[in-house]
Amino acid sequence: MLKNVASITLISVALGFSVTASASVEDELQNICTIVKADDKGELRKKMSSVEKNFSLKLQDYYTGITCGGESLIRTAFLNNAVEAGSLLVKKMPKSQLNAPEQDGKTIRAWVSENNLMSSPIAEVLNSRI
């Protein structure tokens, strides 16, 4: 009887671990918009590090697949005056992707200019990177 209980416990622990370990990248990134809006640079850094460690993905790999209310992560940072989070995102993105058009066909810089956000500290970081 004790042998059966030990076997069942071992199987349960193994199954529980495999379910936990198989979390998807979507689950991992579920609250990234909230983190950016809250301007929580430390939590954003942890989230990006966790995704890179667990899924071997860098920001540029999943950036285009995430929208926050129809806007990209960097645009969301601009709209919410999330200077710390927005600056981190700009610094982590490759220059080529910062210059590439987003889903609406506009580059981040063109969108910033069009929305009169050039005075934002994030725009300074963006201009220094481009």
Mean pLDDT in order along the chain per 10 residues (130 residues): 42 41 73 91 92 89 87 92 93 90 89 90 88
Q: What angle do CA 54, 60, 61 make, to 5 degrees?
A: 50
- Residue 53's Cβ-count burial label (10 Å; 0-12, 13-18, 19+) is exposed
Answer whether residue 13 is part of any domain: no
Is residue 28 a part of any domain in this protein? Answer: yes
DSSP string across 31-83? THHHHHHTT-HHHHHHHHHHHHHHH---HHHHGGG--BTTB-HHHHHHHTT-H
What residues make up the domain containing 115?
24-129
70 within a domain of the structure (yes/no): yes
pLDDT at position 130: 82
Kindly state whether residue 87 falls inside one of the protein's structural domains.
yes
In the prediction, which pLDDT does 89 show?
93
> 4 in a domain, yes or no?
no
What total number of domains does the chain contain? 1
19 assigned to some structural domain = no
The answer to whether 44 and 36 have CB atoms below 8 angstroms apart is yes
Q: What are the residues whose beta carbons fall under 8 Å from the beta carbon of 50, sequence distance 6 or more?
A: 28
Q: Which residues, listed in sequence order, are joined to residue 127 by a DSSP beta bridge?
A: none
Q: Please tell me the predicted confidence (pLDDT) of residue 14.
A: 42
Please report the pLDDT score of residue 65 as a whole number.
Answer: 87
108 lies in some domain: yes
| Angle separating helix axes 83-92 and 121-129, nearest 10 degrees | 10
pLDDT at 38: 94
* pLDDT of res. 62: 86
